[in-house]
Chains A and B, each alone.
Chain A
Amino acid sequence: MSVLSGNGPHDDANTALEIDDLTVAYNSKPAIWDIDLRVPEGVLMAVIGPNGAGKSTLIKAALKLIPRAAGTVQFYGQPYEHVRGLVGYVPQRGSVDWDFPTTVLDVVSMGLYGRLGWIRRPGQSERESALHALEQVGMQDFADRQISQLSGGQQQRTFLARALVQDARIYLMDEPFAAVDAVTERAIITIMRELRARGKTVVVVHHDLQTAPEYFDWVTLLNVEIVATGPIATTFTPENLRRTYGGRVAYLQEGQQIAGLEKE
């Protein structure tokens, strides 16, 4: 573990996440099918696909939160159990009860529970780390706030701070941009770019085709199977999008504009 953490020389051919032959099924219907995916270290990658394409399933299966029917997942060449400390996770914010009786600072501290291990309680140094993470997301004044008082965007930032405090090497985020306002979206993308600048890898389930080329430098197009994966400039093409979404999306009828989007 100690060899892998920190900013030491990259090992294992600079692959942050490698997924082989991963299949997950709900009620005998595959949610994701035979996924092979290699995420290079240091990219900011979007996972894009229609509803029911298995985007969240992919992330949850990678973290072993749901049972796999087949396949292996490795982070930095090791199974997840060995390198948990290197992986930060941001669940969908709708997945928890925001009326739970606790404060913002306490939620952020939860990011350190894994490192603390069983039974040990968070102390002063954990408190400081959590406050620092809150500062990074611009929420330091909300530290003592009860979480039920937060707006959607503030909830999302709190979750982001909880992941930042883990000081992981790769972050998996499940729809962090869902139903947040433009200011929060800008703040979140700024933080993601800072993470990338520090050499971290960020994998983001994303919904908005319009912003994808602007925000990300790497993309995986998913619809149960992997349609395409690679640098966004060469992968996020009208052809690949049509193969992902079918011809249904009105946006794709003006497909030619997609390539030109970045220049606008």
Chain B
Amino acid sequence: MTKNYKLTTKNSSSDRRIWLLIGATALIAALFVPFSQLFLHVEYDYTLRTVALGGALLGIVSGVLGCFAVLRRQSLLGDALSHAALPGVAIAFLLAGRDLGLLLIGAGVTSWLGVYFIRLVTGTTRIKQDAAMGIVLAAWFAAGIALLVYIQARPDASQAGLDTFIFGQAAAIIERDVRLIAAVGTVSFIVLALFWKEFKLITFDAEFAGANGFRVNLLSMALSTLIVVAIVLGLQLAGVILMVGMLIASGIAARQWTNQLGQMVILSAVFGAFAGGAGAIISAIDADIPTGPLIVVVAFLLVAISLGFAPGRGLVWTLLRRLSDRRRFAAQTMLQDLYHYAIDHGRADLPAPESFLFGVRGATAKEGLRQLHARGQVQRSNGAWMLTPAGIEAASRDDRNHQLWAVYRQYADDLALPAIAEDRQQDIADLLPPESVAKLEFKLDTIRNAAAPPAQEQSLPNAVTDH
């Protein structure tokens, strides 16, 4: 079998690039600690170490699980669910008092009920998911605020600080919380690793998963539960309002760099760790800088950089590619124009009047001729452009390639040639094995000899050019 080696090498080189990126981000994250000590005069006291470690771990957990929220087009579900956690915190406090474990369990329960409600409503009524999420976000959050205000009005000092769950308060994080994040995060990762194939399948094509006997509803609820877990773990640090940022930012950023789910998840974890750690450290420069919002700001800086510069998808990349495409196509067009104009008039190095070229092609002519001139493929004399010997050679090679593609399209089946993706910008000889190219060359020459008497060999047979 003919393996398209170009594709394979391209793929493995992009693989290498991702691992480089992952390594580089990890390295920058590691170097950030001495950098902040030396230049930002950050003191790594116990509190900062705890908060930075907690932020980094939380970044990893929410980065990994957030990828699935992003891919399932449920980024805003994360927002609804984090808001839906607030009444749980309040109810748990009313029932059991100020115990962090119980508060988080309460948060998880109401948040999870929010997921269930959204699924129920979208599954049984005509209400769409965005409306259902809006209902949960507003209703649950309103209930939470109402309960908090009620609690704060009570003559009881222990409620102090409960409202930190709204905006988050990193300084409140102690070593026990970090251990909790690490432990729960590890359990989530084990579940994710075990059901990786199933989660991937329901995220890509739930219908097909159902037809193949997978319990789609169960898996979907399990995945949503993991996302709820990530949200609940982050409440103390980021608060119910900003938690969605931690959840989805690193996933969105990671998606720009890779086309593999596994790589995306790992990269998202590294981005999350970087944002969580660096955000906490930067906020330590001044006691007045809040940690949670700063982590989210760093995370979205990563998103901005990724949207701008990621190869293939980034904004800068897209603009550059568009520019280089325009130049390349203009040059190719003018090369062919000059070549055919000259050939049609009898000899390959016949000059074509500039006014004629500009009249026919406009701006393309100007750009294309500039490119070709820079390559030494055309020269100008007396207000006309002609191909240089190098230009004639390039043009005839390009022309030949174009005709081979046309023959390939028409006769690939008849000649039993391997199926390849049609891409006329590429040299067909690079994509097909030599014996197939030989068959194509032979076929093209046969057609040309049959269609045209030897004297007019340059003119193209209709069978090939007419599409």
CB < 8 Å neighbour of A119 from B194, B210, B264: B194
A61 and B207 CA atoms in complex are apart in Å by: 12
Q: Which of A35-43, A95-103, A204-212, A225-233 contacts B (4 or more CB under 8 A)?
A: A95-103
Is A248 an interface residue when CB atoms closer than 8 A count as contact?
A: no
B 404-439 binary contact with A (CB < 8 Å = 1; else 0)? 000000000000001111000000000000000000
A84 and B7 CA atoms in complex are apart in Å by: 35
A125-147: which have CB < 8 Å to B? 135, 138-142, 144-146
Contact A91 B197 (CB under 8 A): no
Nearest-Cβ distance from residue A186 to partner chain B, whole angstroms: 10
A 159-202 binary contact with B (CB < 8 Å = 1; else 0)? 00010000000000000000000000000000000000000000
Is B208 an interface residue when CB atoms closer than 8 A count as contact?
A: yes
Q: A64 — which chain B residues lie within 8 A by C-beta?
A: 210
CB < 8 Å neighbour of A89 from B204, B208, B263, B419: B208
A97 and B204 CA atoms in complex are apart in Å by: 7
Q: B194 — which chain A residues lie within 8 A by C-beta?
A: 119
Is B195 an interface residue when CB atoms closer than 8 A count as contact?
A: yes
Q: Which of B33-41, B211-219, B362-370 contacts A (4 or more CB under 8 A)?
A: B211-219
Interface size class of A (residues with CB under 8 A): 35 or more
Q: Which of B130-138, B165-173, B252-260, B298-306 contacts A (4 or more CB under 8 A)?
A: B252-260
Which residue of chain B has its CB nearest to the CB of A137? B419
Is A63 an interface residue when CB atoms closer than 8 A count as contact?
A: yes
Is A263 an interface residue when CB atoms closer than 8 A count as contact?
A: no
Is B186 an interface residue when CB atoms closer than 8 A count as contact?
A: no
CB < 8 Å neighbour of B214 from A87, A114, A144, A145: A114
A89 and B421 CA atoms in complex are apart in Å by: 26
A64 and B216 CA atoms in complex are apart in Å by: 12
Contact A101 B260 (CB under 8 A): yes
Q: A122 — which chain B residues lie within 8 A by C-beta?
A: 197
A122 and B196 CA atoms in complex are apart in Å by: 11
CB < 8 Å neighbour of A63 from B200, B210, B255: B210
Is A65 an interface residue when CB atoms closer than 8 A count as contact?
A: yes
Contact A113 B11 (CB under 8 A): no
Contact B71 A101 (CB under 8 A): yes
Contact A113 B212 (CB under 8 A): yes
Is A259 an interface residue when CB atoms closer than 8 A count as contact?
A: no
A84 and B195 CA atoms in complex are apart in Å by: 20
CB < 8 Å neighbour of A113 from B2, B7, B197: B197
Contact A113 B201 (CB under 8 A): yes
Is B355 an interface residue when CB atoms closer than 8 A count as contact?
A: no
Is A107 an interface residue when CB atoms closer than 8 A count as contact?
A: yes
A95 and B259 CA atoms in complex are apart in Å by: 20
B225-278: which have CB < 8 Å to A? 255, 258-261, 263-264
Is B203 an interface residue when CB atoms closer than 8 A count as contact?
A: yes
Q: A139 — which chain B residues lie within 8 A by C-beta?
A: 419
Contact B419 A138 (CB under 8 A): yes
Contact B197 A96 (CB under 8 A): no
Interface hub of B8, B11, B73, B212 (most chain A Cβ within 10 A): B212
Contact A145 B419 (CB under 8 A): no
Q: B261 — which chain A residues lie within 8 A by C-beta?
A: 100-102
Q: B213 — which chain A residues lie within 8 A by C-beta?
A: 81, 84, 114
A 66-90 binary contact with B (CB < 8 Å = 1; else 0)? 0000000000000001001001010
Is A249 an interface residue when CB atoms closer than 8 A count as contact?
A: no
Which residue of chain A has its CB nearest to the CB of B10? A144
Nearest-Cβ distance from residue A59 to partner chain B, whole angstroms: 9
Nearest-Cβ distance from residue B261 to partner chain A, whole angstroms: 5
A113 and B208 CA atoms in complex are apart in Å by: 10
Q: B398 — which chain A residues lie within 8 A by C-beta?
A: none
Instruction: Indicate whether A145 sits within 8 Å of B7 (C-beta atoms), given known contacts A102-B261, A118-B198, A135-B1.
Output: yes
A142 and B419 CA atoms in complex are apart in Å by: 10
Is B126 an interface residue when CB atoms closer than 8 A count as contact?
A: yes
Instruction: Indicate whether A116 sits within 8 Å of B7 (C-beta atoms), given known contacts A27-B126, A138-B419, A140-B1.
Output: no
Instruction: Indicate whether A101 sits within 8 Å of B264 (C-beta atoms), given known contacts A96-B204, A110-B205, A138-B419.
Output: yes
Is B4 an interface residue when CB atoms closer than 8 A count as contact?
A: yes
A95 and B203 CA atoms in complex are apart in Å by: 12
Nearest-Cβ distance from residue A115 to partner chain B, whole angstroms: 8
Instruction: Indicate whether A101 sits within 8 Å of B259 (C-beta atoms), given known contacts A95-B205, A110-B205, A144-B8.
Output: yes
Nearest-Cβ distance from residue B284 to partner chain A, whole angstroms: 35
Contact B418 A121 (CB under 8 A): no
Q: B73 — which chain A residues lie within 8 A by C-beta?
A: 97
Contact A100 B71 (CB under 8 A): yes
Is A256 an interface residue when CB atoms closer than 8 A count as contact?
A: no
Contact A144 B7 (CB under 8 A): yes
Q: B420 — which chain A residues lie within 8 A by C-beta?
A: 141
Nearest-Cβ distance from residue B10 to partner chain A, whole angstroms: 8
Nearest-Cβ distance from residue B250 to partner chain A, whole angstroms: 14
Is A148 an interface residue when CB atoms closer than 8 A count as contact?
A: yes
Contact A84 B258 (CB under 8 A): no
Contact B7 A91 (CB under 8 A): no
Which residue of chain A has its CB nearest to the CB of B312? A146
Nearest-Cβ distance from residue B65 to partner chain A, whole angstroms: 16
A102 and B213 CA atoms in complex are apart in Å by: 22
Q: A145 — which chain B residues lie within 8 A by C-beta?
A: 7
Interface hub of A101, A103, A139 (most chain B Cβ within 10 A): A101
Which residue of chain A has its CB nearest to the CB of B1? A140
A119 and B387 CA atoms in complex are apart in Å by: 64
Contact A101 B4 (CB under 8 A): no
Contact B260 A141 (CB under 8 A): no
Which residue of chain B has its CB nearest to the CB of A112? B212
Nearest-Cβ distance from residue B276 to partner chain A, whole angstroms: 23
Q: B210 — which chain A residues lie within 8 A by C-beta?
A: 63-65
Q: A148 — which chain B residues lie within 8 A by C-beta?
A: 259
Q: Which 9 A-B pairs have the closest CB atoms?
A: A114-B212, A146-B259, A89-B211, A138-B419, A141-B4, A144-B11, A63-B211, A96-B205, A84-B213
User: What would 27 A/B residue contacts be, using CB atoms closer than 8 Å?
Assistant: A27-B126, A65-B207, A84-B212, A91-B205, A91-B207, A91-B208, A95-B205, A95-B207, A100-B71, A101-B71, A101-B263, A103-B259, A107-B204, A110-B205, A110-B208, A113-B214, A114-B213, A120-B197, A140-B1, A140-B419, A141-B2, A141-B4, A141-B7, A141-B418, A144-B11, A146-B259, A162-B208
- Give A contacts to B, CB under 8 Å: 27, 60, 63-65, 81, 84, 87, 89, 91, 95-97, 100-103, 107, 110, 113-114, 116, 118-122, 135, 138-142, 144-146, 148, 162
**Contacts A113-B212, A140-B419, A141-B420 supplied; 16 other A-B pairs, CB < 8 Å:** A65-B207, A84-B211, A100-B71, A100-B261, A101-B255, A101-B258, A102-B260, A103-B259, A110-B208, A114-B213, A119-B197, A121-B196, A121-B197, A138-B419, A141-B7, A141-B421
